[in-house]
Amino acid sequence: MASRGTRDGIDDGPSCSEGGQPMCAGTRRHSGRTARGAADRQVLVEIDTAEHREPDSNTMKMPALPTAKSEPTGIDLPPTKAIPEAADVLTGGSLYRSIRQAIVSLQFAPGQRMSENELSRLFHASRTPIRDVLKRLEREGLVVISPRRRTTVTRLDLATFRQFVVAREALERTAAEMAARKERNRREALISSVTLLADQIETGDADAFHACDRAFHLQVLQIANLEQVHEIVESLRGLTDRIRFAHMTYLESYDRAEVVRQHARIAEAIAMGDAVAAGAAMQTHVLSVIGRVEQLAGIRPDLFSENMSEELEELQDSMRP
């Protein structure tokens, strides 16, 4: 049976896993096609051979990717379903996830005020669990609660973002290095996760792509026997995930194929037992969000805090070699 977790009295609901392995939304809908896809694909993900050693007979095969091209903007993507239908009553973990997703996916925009009464109406929940969820979201830096209980969605604060990225990069780079030292059969399971992620480009399901992305990172932590770190990593993803959704919504392109290639490099290095390459690939992947921040700040400065220019300069100086 899938495990459950409880934080701050809020039940997180069943974990996204099956047989001890994380799953994304696409796993359930395409399980039969996915099982066949890994065997049928003939084209390997293009990985820079200058950064990896030459493959041998034991090298893991990577899934095929669609031809890299500009993806449509988030405006054309299927909307996230964070706000429930009137018949749905949300409590506990499902309420937390729904409100959080509404913020992360920009349904509640940076700077927007949120009242407990309005949230209670939208999410069909009483004010007490709404208040508990807002306190938890405040700790994640997604909202600010004033002394008069006025709640405001935080703007994209690059000073906070820099600290979150530093912490996440350190945790996930170390996890990738540790995962590369584990037994081979556990490491090889990552390949199917890359296949699932690539499948979501073909389906055009942005929510499923996002879920598979998160499942991959959870699986790396599980292989490294760092499952308890997942809660910390998730708390650090709120701001970076908002950057991702803002990028998909407001920028001309979001290259999902490049995200899959980055995951493939991580998976290959882990499967080959190359801890140094695995850590470097994960570091590159996590820090790639900085480039998206720079692009987004150039066209939508209104999404960011008032000191955006100074914070962006500090971010660039501190996060680049």
- Sign of the C-alpha dihedral computed for residues 7, 193, 211 and 26 taken in this order: negative
Averaged pLDDT, 80-93: 48
Q: Report yes or no: 153 and 103 within 8 Å, Cβ to Cβ.
A: yes
pLDDT tens per residue across span 147-203: 877 899 999 888 888 888 888 899 999 999 999 999 787 787 888 899 999 998 888
Does 49 score more than 60 pLDDT? Answer: no
Structure-model confidence comparison of residues 132 and 40, the more confident one: 132
pLDDT tens per residue across span 260-297: 999 999 999 999 999 999 999 999 999 888 877 888 88
Does 220 score more than 90 pLDDT? Answer: yes
Q: Is the pTM of this model over 0.85?
A: no
Helix (H) or strand (E) holding 253: none
Looking at residue 81, its pLDDT comes to: 46
b vs e for 33-42, b when ≥16 Cβ sit within 10 Å of the residue's Cβ?
ebeebbeebe
Provide the edge-to-edge strand list for the sheet that holds 143-145: 113-114, 151-153, 143-145
Helix (H) or strand (E) holding 264: helix 256-271
Q: Report yes or no: 174 and 279 within 8 Å, Cβ to Cβ.
A: yes
| Maximum distance among all Cα pairs of the chain, rounded to whole angstroms | 65
Averaged pLDDT, 86-114: 80
- Sign of the C-alpha dihedral computed for residues 70, 74, 75 and 78 taken in this order: positive
- How many other β-carbons are positioned within 10 Å of the β-carbon of residue 124? 16
Element counts in the chain: helices (H) and strands (E): 14, 7
Show the domains of the chain with their CATH numbers: 75-109+111-153 (1.10.10.10), 157-319 (1.20.120.530)
- How many other β-carbons are positioned within 10 Å of the β-carbon of residue 222? 20
- How many other β-carbons are positioned within 10 Å of the β-carbon of residue 310? 11
